[in-house]
Amino acid sequence: MPEDLDRGSSVEELEGLRWPVPPADSTPMVRNVYELRRRPVATLEPHELARLIGQDVGLRWLLPLAVEILRSAAPKRAEGGWFDDDLLYAVVTRKPEVWAAAPEPAHELRETVAALTDVSRHVRQDIDAFLAALPKGDA
């Protein structure tokens, strides 16, 4: 977890970069991403984290939070509980260089996905690709 993470701050505040108002002809998704960047990270729901992460927004702060959520949910999945595959997909499909820059969350995610046994073949393919892309010291 980044030491400078204040969960009461927004991605916008953490980055120190204020985006302008989205263009008038923006898609609903673009408008949503702009709005989510302005919300305190502690208030973001898993599907909202997935949206931001899927757009490569605020990864330095949001990936560790997402991994934390996935880690806490993995045991529940093993017991037949609900698991957010959208968040998992958003996280494991980030580019290898993203994970190279975040070795601690990458290691934690590797351990977490190793515990997931009952996932769809599509999610399994994404997990396997993530694992294959990790530096050899983390695999």
Q: What is the domain range of residue 109?
A: 11-133
| 123 occurs within a structural domain | yes
Is there a domain that residue 138 lies in? no
pTM > 0.75: yes
For range 85-107, the mean pLDDT: 92
Per-residue model confidence (pLDDT) at position 72: 87
In total, how many domains does the chain have?
A: 1
- Is 58 among the domain residues? yes
Angle at 86 between CA 84 and CA 92, to 5 degrees: 105
In a domain, 106, yes or no: yes
d(CA 50, CA 113): 16
> Residue 128 falls within a domain, yes or no?
yes
* pLDDT bracket for residue 139 (50, 70, 90): very low
